């Protein structure tokens, strides 16, 4: 039991350090998608654009992050201000993989009533990286 736990800690320590660039996160989601989808065509900013603005339920991503993700958003229910989502406008975004996963989990659950696929995450990130900064 202890041996197993020690091994887990050793493996954790061996993982690459966090604080990545958004492009590295995008590459990792795309690499993951390649293992999940046969003939994965690669990330697409235009598919991400459609996904971001589509109403998946009562909500779309844009419901809170607004139609222009390089501008500040507002929580559609509580009115709480949300900092711009696009990394081109907000250097804090998409740097910490665990944080990014946490928000994809919560927000996909709320908006799509399911988890998002790696391909969808890669597409959205490709779209956000193409969004004009400081608009």
Partner 1 sequence: MIHTLHSSVITIAIRALGATLAIATTAAQAAAPTPASASTYQEECGSCHTAYPARFLKPADWTTVLGTLDRHYGADATLDATAAGEVARHLGVGSPPANVPAATALPRITRSGWFVHEHDEISAATFKSSAVRSAANCSACHTGADRGDFDEHSIRMPQGTRHE
Find the part of the chain contacting partner 1 (CB under 8 A) among 9-17, 44-52, 86-94, 118-126: 9-17
**4 touching partner 1, by CB under 8 A:** yes
Q: Which of 23, 46, 92, 109 binds partner 1 (CB under 8 A)?
A: 109
Q: How far is the CB of 129 from partner 1 (least distance, A)?
A: 22
Cβ proximity to partner 1, 44 vs 95, nearer residue: 95
What is the x/- site pattern for partner 1, positions 33-72, by CB under 8 A? --x-------------------------------------
Three-state DSSP string of the chain: CHHHHHHHHHHHHHCCCCCCCHHHHHHHHHHHHHHHCCCCCCCCHHHHHHHHHCCCCCCCCHHHHCCCCCCCEECCCCCCEECCCCCCCCCCCCCCHHHHHHHHHHHHHHHHCCCCCHHHHHHHHHHHHHCCCCC
Q: Determine contact, residues 105/114, Cβ cutoff 8 Å.
A: no
Q: How far is the CB of 42 from partner 1 (least distance, A)?
A: 19
* Angstrom distance (rounded) from CA 109 to CA 100: 14
Cβ proximity to partner 1, 44 vs 90, nearer residue: 90
- Interface residues toward partner 1, by CB under 8 A: 4-5, 7-9, 11-12, 15, 32, 35, 75, 77-80, 82, 102, 105-106, 109-110
């Amino acid at each position: 039991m202890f041996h197993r736990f020690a091994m887990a800690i050793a493996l954790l320590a061996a993982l690459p350090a966090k604080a990545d660039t958004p492009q590295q996160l995008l590459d990792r989601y795309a690499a993951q998608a390649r293992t999940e989808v046969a003939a994965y065509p690669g990330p697409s900013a235009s598919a991400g654009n459609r996904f971001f603005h589509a109403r998946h339920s009562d909500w779309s991503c844009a419901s809170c992050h607004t139609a222009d993700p390089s501008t500040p958003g507002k929580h559609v229910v509580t009115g709480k201000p949300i900092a711009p989502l696009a990394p081109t406008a907000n250097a804090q975004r998409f740097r910490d993989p665990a944080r990014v996963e946490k928000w994809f989990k919560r927000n996909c659950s709320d908006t799509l009533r399911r988890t998002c696929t790696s391909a969808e995450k890669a597409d959205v990130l490709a779209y956000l990286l193409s969004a004009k900064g400081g608009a």
